Amino acid sequence: MKNIFSPIKFLKFNNCYLCHNIKKSVKLAPNLKKIKNFYKINYKNKKHLFKKIKFGNKNIFKKNIIMPSFLKIKKKCIYFFIKWLLNIL
């Protein structure tokens, strides 16, 4: 059976929900809608965003609060997530 990418499972399984909500910014990291809106304007290419998720990032939304790296997530899954974030969310 073919696996279908589920963004909600992806976010849960990889603990993204520990810091990110979809719409509310009650947690310490920017919510995913905010990230989407930012990258609608500042999008360079998918590799650029891929690297931020894989290797972590800081100082775009928050000063000195770090988005951790996720070295174990499969490349394919991160690209699915980016597609979902930018086009569907």
Least gap, CB of 6 to ligand HEC (angstroms):
13
β partners of residue 34: none
Instruction: Name which position in 5, 9, 43, 60 contacts ligand HEC (CB under 6 A).
Output: 60
Of the candidates 82, 78, 88, the one whose C-alpha atom is nearest the C-alpha of residue 14 is 78
Cβ pair 69, 56 in contact under 8 A:
yes
**Contacts to ligand HEC from residues 12-51, by CB under 6 A:** 14-16, 18-20, 29-30, 35
Answer yes or no whether residue 58 interacts with ligand HEC by CB under 6 A: yes
CB 3 within 8 A of CB 10: no
- Number of residues counted as binding ligand HEC (CB under 6 A): 22
